[in-house]
């Protein structure tokens, strides 16, 4: 059940939670003609690095300046509509009112995966995520029947799902079709599909596969939610994530190197 960055909204009928989202990050964004040219980004970053070292800030200072640079309105990574971060997913875009444009991990580092349960159907989750009045969405939704994964928000961007602004900025949210008080809705095929997705996210962002970095919505600081609930089998899920992670590592190690 995703929530927004601010107040904890009430539960909507038959699906995930409602609530008002963050102010749009591009509000008041200058006209394109007033924005810095994208081709100068490397030069500016190099200058920032020299300045940081010269000022005695060192590498940590440069990293901080680099993140600030990517948070400047108009400085955006190239992107295509409907582009997927997870190859096995299908695209089902959420309303732009339910997420904030960003350039992660350049502006905000990604070091957490947050597990949600919809308290409703897969179809309802996609429907409410596409509603601009809903105010919340996760990056992915996993279907119980067959494990199909829908991506609704790019990982580049900040989805309103954790109920905590900082955690929204640092995490990828995964919604699972089901109900916290009905363990039969948490299917084996959904567990396995989600585990492959989580393993893929962890490999791409170098996130440790452990319970400190893969958490339930109820474990987010200041959380008021109970999902994924007492019937979510964490031992089983983490075993599946580790297995999927190891299998992907083995596959990568045996893949022929590309010619330079």
29 in Cβ contact with 74 (< 8 Å): yes
Residue 28, pLDDT above cutoff 70: no
pTM of the model: 0.77
Q: Return the structure tokens found at 131.
A: 């509603």
159 in Cβ contact with 135 (< 8 Å): no
9 in Cβ contact with 22 (< 8 Å): no
Residue 43, pLDDT above cutoff 60: no
DSSP characters for 53-119? HHTT-HHHHHHHHHHHHHTSTT------TT--SSTT-EE-PPPGGGEE---TTTSS---EEEEEE-S
Distance of alpha carbon 177 from alpha carbon 144, whole angstroms: 5
Residue 196, pLDDT above cutoff 70: yes
Residues contacting residue 27 through CB under 8 Å, at least 6 positions apart: none
Q: Tell me the pLDDT band of 81, cut-offs 50, 70 and 90.
A: confident
Q: Tell me the pLDDT band of 218, cut-offs 50, 70 and 90.
A: very high
Q: Return the structure tokens found at 56.
A: 């005695």
Can you list the alpha helix ranges (DSSP code H) found in the chain?
41-54, 58-70, 122-129, 165-170, 188-205, 234-254
What pLDDT is recorded for position 65? 59
What pLDDT is recorded for position 76? 72
Residue 55, pLDDT above cutoff 60: no
Distance of alpha carbon 52 from alpha carbon 61, whole angstroms: 6
Determine how β-strand 140-142 pairs with β-strand 171-176. Answer: parallel
Q: Which residue has the tokens 């029947």?
A: 145
121 in Cβ contact with 106 (< 8 Å): no
Residue 52, pLDDT above cutoff 90: no
Residue 51, pLDDT above cutoff 70: no
Residue 210, pLDDT above cutoff 80: yes
Average pLDDT over residues 26-32: 35
What pLDDT is recorded for position 214? 98
């Amino acid at each position: 059940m995703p929530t927004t960055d601010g107040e904890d909204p009430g539960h909507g009928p038959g699906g995930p939670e409602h609530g008002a989202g963050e102010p749009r990050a591009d509000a008041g964004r200058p006209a394109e003609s007033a924005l810095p040219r994208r081709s100068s980004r490397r030069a500016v970053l190099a200058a920032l690095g020299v300045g940081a070292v010269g000022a005695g800030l060192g590498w940590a200072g440069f990293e901080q300046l680099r993140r600030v640079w990517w948070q400047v309105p108009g400085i955006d990574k190239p992107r295509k509509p409907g582009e997927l971060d997870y190859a096995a997913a299908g695209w089902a875009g959420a309303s732009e009112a339910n997420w904030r444009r960003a350039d992660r991990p350049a502006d905000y580092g990604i070091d957490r995966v947050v597990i949600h349960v919809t308290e409703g159907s897969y179809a309802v989750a996609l429907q409410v995520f596409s509603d601009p009045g809903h105010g919340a969405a996760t990056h992915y939704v996993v279907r119980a029947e067959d494990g199909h994964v829908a991506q609704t928000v790019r990982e580049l961007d900040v989805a309103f799902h954790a109920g905590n602004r900082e955690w929204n900025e640092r995490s990828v949210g995964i919604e699972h079709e089901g109900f916290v008080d009905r363990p039969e809705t948490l299917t084996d095929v959904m567990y396995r599909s989600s585990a492959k997705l989580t393993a893929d996210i962890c490999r791409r962002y170098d996130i440790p596969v452990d319970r400190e970095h893969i958490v339930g919505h109820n474990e987010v600081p200041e959380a008021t939610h109970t999902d994924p609930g007492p019937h979510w089998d964490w031992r089983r899920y983490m075993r599946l994530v580790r297995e999927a992670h190891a299998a992907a590592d083995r596959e990568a190690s045996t893949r022929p190197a590309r010619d330079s």
